[in-house]
């Protein structure tokens, strides 16, 4: 069997520090063969920079996925071109820096194709994730053994629709972006493991990673303040997916939380 560990949005310095101290231990405890980390909020809560990318890889991540904040830091553009395992959403416009997928050897000669896509509902403009992934699966047919997709989106309905359309063709679909771990993990009829959102690696005593002091005024006084990541009560949320090496079906989905 193959175990894939997916870690929710790493939020700012507190999230990065928790990953640095704990990810290898968690990887060992979960017996993970592949570790995928959503990194689009790792630099001060918005974007990814070289320092944070290096830290996450050194801490045990194999692939970094992105989202709507992937391009917030200009310094990452060259790294997106140079490192095939740092992904931005596949359905960003043609000509965007970097790549939206990678193929990585995992175990016993099996290869995983890891895909990063963004949703369209309540999100910044992006091309259709459905069309983009259809094209990708056709183009890479025969070059991988199973597929994993980080669907970075706001609407659970869109995430569910995506898992239904690609059931049997993508073996693992997990959602990111809301920073709130959902309790709807399931195995689909054609062998896909699914969960709407795996949560985040950030403070539980916060507004999705941001301190109460800097987040609450937006809602009470319509005053937007610079969000400061909360440093206390940090937890890592995610999920572990088990793939059967013979059938290549996902046979188990387990939510995780470490604090």
Q: What is the rounded distance in angstroms from the CA atom of residue 185 to the CA atom of residue 67?
A: 21
Which of these, 131, 25, 112, lies nearest to 65 by C-alpha position?
Answer: 112
Q: What is the rounded distance in angstroms from the CA atom of residue 48 to the CA atom of residue 40?
A: 5
User: Which residues, other chains included, contact 56 with Cβ-Cβ below 8 Å and sequence gap of 6+?
Assistant: 10, 16, 19, 37, 39, 42, 64
Q: What is the rounded distance in angstroms from the CA atom of residue 202 to the CA atom of residue 13?
A: 9
Q: What is the rounded distance in angstroms from the CA atom of residue 230 to the CA atom of residue 53?
A: 20
Q: What is the DSSP letter of 50?
A: H
Please say if 177 is a catalytic residue. Answer: no
Q: What is the rounded distance in angstroms from the CA atom of residue 97 to the CA atom of residue 156?
A: 28
The active-site residue, picked from 69, 152, 177, 179, is 69
Q: What is the DSSP string of 142-183?
A: TS-SEEEEEEE-S-HHHHHHHHHHTBTTBSEEEEESS----S
Active site members: 69
């Amino acid at each position: 069997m193959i175990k894939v560990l997916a870690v929710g949005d790493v939020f700012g310095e507190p999230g990065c520090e928790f990953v640095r101290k704990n990810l290898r231990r968690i990887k060992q405890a979960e017996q993970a063969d592949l570790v995928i980390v959503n990194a689009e909020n790792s630099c001060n809560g918005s974007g990814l920079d070289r320092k944070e990318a290096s830290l996450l890889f050194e801490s045990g991540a194999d692939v970094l996925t992105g989202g709507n904040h992937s391009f917030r830091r200009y310094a990452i553009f060259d790294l997106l071109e140079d490192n095939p395992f740092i992904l931005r959403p596949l359905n960003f416009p043609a000509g965007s820096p970097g790549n939206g997928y990678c193929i990585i050897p995992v175990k016993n000669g099996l290869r995983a194709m890891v895909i990063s896509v963004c949703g369209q509902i309540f999100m910044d403009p992006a091309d259709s994730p459905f069309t983009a992934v259809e094209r990708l699966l056709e183009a890479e047919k025969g070059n991988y053994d199973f597929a994993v997709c980080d669907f970075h989106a706001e609407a659970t309905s869109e995430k569910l629709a995506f898992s239904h359309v690609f059931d049997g063709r993508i073996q693992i679909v997990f959602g990111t972006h809301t920073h709130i771990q959902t309790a709807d993990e399931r195995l689909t009829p054609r062998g896909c493991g699914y969960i709407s959102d795996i949560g985040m690696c950030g403070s539980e005593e916060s507004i999705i990673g941001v301190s109460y002091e800097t987040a609450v005024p937006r809602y009470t006084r319509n005053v937007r303040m610079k969000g400061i990541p909360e440093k206390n009560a940090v937890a890592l949320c995610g999920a572990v997916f088990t793939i059967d090496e013979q059938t290549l079906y996902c046979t188990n989905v387990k939510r995780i939380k470490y604090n």
